[in-house]
Amino acid sequence: MLHTKSSEEIYKQACEVLPGGVSRNTVFRKPYPHYAGTASGCYITDIEGVSRIDFANNMAALIHGHAHPAIVQAVVEQLHKGTAYTLASEIEVAFAQLLCERAPGLDKIRFVNSGTEAVMAMIKASRAFTGRPKIAKAEGAYHGTYDFAEVSQTANPTNWGDINKPNSVALANGTPQGVLNDVIIFPFNDIERTLAILDQQADQIACVIIDPVPHRVGLLKGTNEFIEAVYQWTRRNGALLVFDEVVTFRVNYSGAQENYTVRPDLTALGKIIGGGFPVGALTGRSDVMQVLDPRSTKVLFPHSGTFSANPITMTAGYVAMKLFDKDAVLKLNALTDKAISQIEEAVKIADVPVSITGAGSMFRIHLTKTPPTTYREAYQTKEAAKVIEELLDYVYFNENLLMINTFACMFSTALTQLEVDKLSEALLRAFKIMKPKIDSLQNS
């Protein structure tokens, strides 16, 4: 396709019809976003003809990169049969079976259309099952855009309060006080403080939401001790332990929960299970999932959705997850480990105070000598955020690499050692160029 307009021209038109010229803030960049032309494998080419290696993969959603031939073929075949019906489809059953077989504890599943919707359904199912109103979540954790899930997502030093009892901080202006009152905030990986906070309202808590490797907290792994302690607390107090694995299901074949001895009661899924299409899913214990069953005398959580389990997404997801088998998971994680090792070597050569956190096929780079262990340690000052923005702009414009705006990478199976080498070499040059600014952050 011949593009006659530039990204700048399109953006001027976009500002007339879209708030800020975009439909999601994550694609905005100054002075204007670039517009995709074509994408294949691990490369994405904008309409100006510049091709870049994609280490963002649509915010971790594209586990096989762009336009995987097997997914494309399956979707095209389904397109000719229809895109959505007011009928069930056989592919949703096959896909449900595939996912439920993938991890212990995924007894039943209900498909939705986004990670946000999956977490929302998980919260509502927890309330329906327990009859309780409140939820507890980690400070800084991102769980989508549902009112309750987004509380304290961007808490900062001016409003986060005492670490022993963190404030419930609204994200969107106008968030009702009642929402804030029903969300309890705890410090991730801090057993003593978390249990003390939970104990104060134990009889009101429906669920404790855990992202096992929360990206916004710092892409820090939940420790076995922390997860076990929270699980045992929920057993003692009649609450549910629920996992947000919308991002982290890529960590192992059975998700990040494979790393723990305990199993969550419910799990929210999304991102990679859609094969490149909008998707979400709520899955977990049969008795808890029963709240959704339309055969019940009284349905405790009536739920539907016009595009839930649409056959296009189900088809793409089924093929994608079949391809992401145990061997593929191990191979991708090994490539990611190699990338981290090479970047750590670049850090040594450039002699910059930089550290890396992550798990499986994802990692995040921090401008601190030692890796952060808490959200408050990982919190970026305005000065640090500015340096990160400059680093990201350098690799985007000068090295033709696309990373996530937190200075993170989410790998796809389309990547090879060749692209990993280009990433580590580009970051070495970026670290050398930006060394004075990176060093200055340690004294600010």
Q: What is the pLDDT of residues 45-98, one digit of tens each?
A: 999 999 999 999 999 999 999 999 999 999 999 999 999 999 999 999 999 999
Inside any domain, residue 20: no
Is the pLDDT at 1 greater than 60? The verdict is no
Check pLDDT > 90 for residue 122: yes
What is the reported pLDDT for 280? 98
User: Which stretches within 300-444 are classed as H helix?
Assistant: 311-323, 326-350, 375-378, 382-397, 417-441
Q: Same structural domain for residues 437 and 306?
A: no
In this structure, are 305 and 359 located in the same domain? no
pLDDT value at residue 266: 98
pLDDT over 60 at 219, yes or no? yes
Whether 9 is in a domain gets the answer no
User: In this structure, is residue 24 part of a structural domain?
Assistant: no
pLDDT, position 5 = 85
pLDDT at 4 over 80: no
Whether residue 382 sits in one domain with residue 250:
no
Q: Are residues 232 and 292 in the same domain?
A: yes
Give the distance between the most distant pair of CA atoms in the chain: 67
Whether 148 and 296 map to the same domain: the answer is yes
Q: Judge if 299 and 333 occupy the same domain.
A: no
pLDDT tens, residue by residue, 391-410: 999 999 999 999 999 999 99
* 240-290 tens-digit pLDDT: 999 999 999 999 999 999 999 999 999 999 999 999 999 999 999 999 999
- Judged against a pLDDT cut of 70, whether residue 202 lies above it is answered with yes
Amino acid 324: pLDDT: 98
pLDDT value of position 209: 98
Average pLDDT over residues 352-370: 98
pLDDT value of residue 30: 87
Structure confidence at residue 285 (pLDDT) = 98
Judge whether residue 182 has pLDDT over 60. Answer: yes
Question: Average pLDDT for residues 282-303, to the nearest whole number?
Answer: 97
Mean pLDDT rounded to a whole number for the chain: 97
Residue 14 domain flag: no
**Average pLDDT over every residue of 312-341:** 98
Q: Is 66 helix (H, G, I), strand (E, B) or coil?
A: strand
pLDDT at 442 over 80: yes
Q: Is 246 found in the same domain as 164?
A: yes
Q: Is residue 4 part of a domain?
A: no
Phi, psi of 165 (to 5 degrees): -155, 75
pLDDT of 207: 98
Helices (H), 80-171: 90-100, 115-130
Question: Which domain covers residue 233, as residue numbers?
Answer: 69-323
- Of 289, 305, 323, the residue that ends a domain is 323
In sequence order, what are the beta bridge partners of 136?
184, 208
Is the same domain home to 249 and 358?
no
Same domain, 422 and 277: no
Residue-level pLDDT at 29: 86
Q: Do residues 57 and 81 both lie within one domain? A: no
- pLDDT category, 444, cuts 50, 70, 90? low
Residue 5 lies in a domain: no
Decide: pTM greater than 0.85. yes
What is the pLDDT, as a whole number, of residue 3?
Answer: 62
Instruction: Kindly state whether residue 8 falls inside one of the protein's structural domains.
Output: no
Judgement on whether residues 316 and 355 belong to the same structural domain of the protein? no
> What CATH number does the domain containing 281 carry?
3.40.640.10
The verdict on residue 54 lying in a domain is yes
Give strand pairing partners of 40. 43
Please give the structure tokens belonging to residue 302.
């009536």
391 near 347, Cβ under 8 Å? no
Q: How far is CA 13 from the centre of its chain?
A: 31
- pLDDT of the residue at 79: 98
Last residue of a domain, one of 295, 323, 351: 323
How many separate domains does the chain show?
A: 2
| CA pair distance 350, 347, nearest whole angstrom | 5
Q: Strands (DSSP E) along 67-123, which ranges?
A: 108-112
Instruction: Examine the domain organization and report whether 400 and 319 are in the same domain.
Output: no
Query: Which of 323, 355, 372 marks a domain boundary?
Result: 323
Q: For residue 396, what is the domain's CATH number?
A: 3.90.1150.10
Determine the average pLDDT of the residues in 27-51: 94
